[in-house]
Amino acid sequence: MTTTDESNSQPVLDVADLQVAYGDLVAVWGASLQLVPGRITALVGRNGAGKTTLLAGICGLLPARSGSVALDGRAVTGLPPWKRVRLGMSIVQEGKQVFRDLSVHDNLRVGLRGRRSGRGEDDTILAELYERFPVLGERRRERAGALSGGQQQMLAIATALAARPRVLLVDEPSSGLAPVITDQVFELLDRLRGEGLAILLVEQLVDELLGGIADDVVVLERGRVTLRDRAANLSAETIADSIYSSI
Ligand SMILES: Nc1ncnc2c1ncn2[C@@H]1O[C@H](COP(=O)(O)OP(=O)(O)OP(=O)(O)O)[C@@H](O)[C@H]1O
């Protein structure tokens, strides 16, 4: 595996030697990575490499077989997902995961429930989200299922943001979206990075990643990390070589 210097910032998320399995089928064999505030780490690899499984292990949707996950230095490895959300880690799962039969507003209210603090701030957070996502404000009373695919993806991200995370895990947000909408999603992630979020982004669009959205790249191949480096040090060819190294 290739590794280079990490950022000077303290990691907010530290994943160490994490192994995740479905019964006897081990899908992730001891993956390690760190996320720091204000940086986007891209997680790439071909279909079935274990990216979604790794995200599930990090956020607690799947149990760790071994290894650890620490958030701000606190071990969260054995905690259920909702507790990790309360501690500051939110996930946007693949496939525009929204409650299609609930209104836009009620979807966001579900997201608010992930927060640790009381309800006093709910209106402030909702107002901030509608300011950030004006189209969601305009369509707040409509069923989420009536939104376009891009708007549903934005709603899924907004719902994750309602919990005010410091770490955001995002699984292939470009999936099924037109390039112009994908650009909008990446612009949003760029702004969130600027606001200090630590982001782990599963993405197949390697050219887009190297075009500025990724600060760091982690390649997963058959459940193992085969490359970890700053995006600035990498070319699309290097990444492709690593992704397909075992063919
Ligand atoms: N629910 C499941 N039960 C059993 N095996 C699974 C399950 N989900 C995924 N797998 C297997 O785990 C391995 C990793 O799958 P995973 O979905 O994490 O890969 P991925 O890199 O996210 O792929 P993709 O890019 O297609 O989403 C694959 O061999 C897959 O078949």
C-alpha span between 43 and 219 (Å, rounded): 6
Taking each helix axis as running N to C, give the angle between helix 179-194 and helix 149-161, from 0 to 180 degrees, rounded to the nearest 10: 20
Q: What separation, in Å, do the N-terminal and C-terminal C-alpha atoms of the chain show?
A: 16
* pLDDT score recorded for residue 2: 45
**Predicted pLDDT of residue 208:** 81
Report which protein residue has its CA nearest ligand 1's atom 4.
22
Which residue among 28, 43, 52 is best mutated to probe the pocket of ligand 1, counting the most ligand atoms within 8 A of its Cβ?
52
Give the angle subtended at the CA of 196 by the CAs of 70 and 185, to the nearest 5°.
Answer: 105
pLDDT tens track, the chain, 247 positions: 544 444 457 899 999 999 999 999 999 999 999 999 999 999 999 999 999 999 999 999 999 999 999 999 999 999 999 999 999 999 999 987 899 999 999 999 999 988 876 667 889 999 999 999 999 999 999 999 999 999 999 999 999 999 999 999 999 998 888 889 999 999 999 999 999 999 999 998 888 888 889 999 999 999 999 999 999 898 888 888 888 776 5
Exposed e or buried b per residue across 173-194, where buried means at least 16 C-beta atoms within 10 angstroms of its C-beta: bbeebeeebbeebbebbeebbe
Domain at 13-99+165-243, CATH from 3.20.20.100, 3.40.630.30, 3.40.640.10, 3.40.50.300: 3.40.50.300
Task: Give me the pLDDT at residue 5, please.
Answer: 44
pLDDT given at position 209:
82
- pLDDT of res. 143: 97
- Write the Ramachandran bin of 196: left for phi over 0, alpha for psi from -120 to 50, otherwise beta: left
Q: What is the pLDDT of residue 53?
A: 97
> What's the ipTM?
0.96
Q: Rounded CA gap, 151 and 68, in Å? A: 35
pLDDT of residue 10: 86
Q: What residue has token string 């071909």? A: 46
Q: Which atom of ligand 1 is nearest to the CA of 23?
A: 4
Confidence at residue 157, expressed as pLDDT on a 0 to 100 scale = 96
Q: To test ligand 1's pocket by mutation, which of 29, 51, 55 has the most ligand atoms within 8 angstroms of CB?
A: 51
Nearest CA to ligand 1 atom 26: 47
Domain residue ranges in the chain: 13-99+165-243
Separation between Cα atoms, residue 19 and residue 154, nearest integer Å = 31
DSSP β-bridge partners for residue 31: 18
Q: Whose CA is nearest to atom 12 of ligand 1?
A: 27
- CA 158 to centroid of chain Cα atoms: 13
Residues with CB under 6 A from ligand 1: 22, 25, 27, 45, 47-53
Question: Encoding tokens for residue 167?
Answer: 């770490």
CA of 27 relative to ligand 1 center, distance in Å: 7
| DSSP of 107-122 | HHHHHHTT-SS-GGGH
Pocket test for ligand 1, best of 20, 24, 25, 204 (most atoms within 8 A of CB): 25
The token pair at 150 is 């891009």
Looking from the CA of 149 toward its CB, the CA atoms found within 13 Å total: 12
244: three-class secondary structure by DSSP: coil
